Amino acid sequence: MPRYLCVPCWLTLSVILAGCGIFSTTKPPPTRPSAAGSAIDFREDPLRIGDRVSVELSGIADPSPPKEQDIKEDGTINLPYIHSVVAAGKSPSKLEKEIESLYVPAWYPRITVTVTPVARYFFVMGQVTMPGRILYTGPITVLGAIGAAGDFTPFAKKGAVEVIHPNGSIETINCRKAIRDPKLDVSIHPGDKIQVGRRF
């Protein structure tokens, strides 16, 4: 092949290969991890003490408007005629079926029960900037919850933060270590109470 034909052929081949990415040194953009795995199905997530739920009774002769109420410290809610019903520890779908079984056939031949979590809270108390009740909107850890409460005060005892669960069990978290090791940063759920003590 004549020499003057080699240069155009080589240039053409280079363009084709570069288009295929063989000679390209540009790295592809990083793929963001999917957040779908962290989503919570609130229809199946167990209700907890302190959750606010809406209960609607329909399909009956005397339907009442949806009633919102907080799940009490004993884990119950109150409903017409059947009064106290244990809600804590049950998913909304399971609670609907249980309430329906209490109404039918004792009070109604048929009924449709809809239980909807309205607001779910956790609590951060003690040595944080803004202590109080915080709306639970999805997965969060101890450090994230403390951050949502305005972070530690200068007097906070970071090495022994207590997480008090609705069942009465208590976890003690060393937040100093959790900052360095995320595996020690435990998850917080609705109804949990975080108590940040004062160091001396």
- Residue entry with tokens 């052929």: 9
10-residue stretch averages of pLDDT, the chain, 200 residues long: 47 44 36 34 76 92 87 92 93 95 95 91 95 90 96 96 90 96 92 92
* CA proximity to 46, closest of 114, 101, 115: 115
pTM of the shown model: 0.58
Arch. (CATH architecture) of 52-119? 2-Layer Sandwich (3.30)
Assign 3-state DSSP to the chain and report helix, strand, coil percentages, each to 5. 25, 30, 45
What is the per-residue pLDDT for 41? Answer: 57
Return d(Cα 159, Cα 152) in angstroms, integer. Answer: 12
Extents of the domains making up the chain: 52-119, 121-196
Return d(Cα 54, Cα 42) in angstroms, integer. Answer: 13
Tens of pLDDT, residues 153-179: 999 999 999 999 878 899 999 999 999
What is the per-residue pLDDT for 37? Answer: 33
- Cβ atoms 170, 197 nearer than 8 A: no
- Residue entry with tokens 């059947």: 82
- Cβ atoms 59, 81 nearer than 8 A: no
CATH class belonging to 121-196: alpha beta
Chain centroid, CA 149 distance in Å: 16
Q: How far is CA 109 from each of CA 59, 61, 190, rounded to the nearest angstrom?
A: 10, 10, 35
- Residue entry with tokens 């998913």: 91
What is the per-residue pLDDT for 151? Answer: 97
Return d(Cα 127, Cα 146) in angstroms, integer. Answer: 10
Helix (H, G, I), strand (E, B) or coil at 135: strand
- Cβ atoms 82, 107 nearer than 8 A: yes
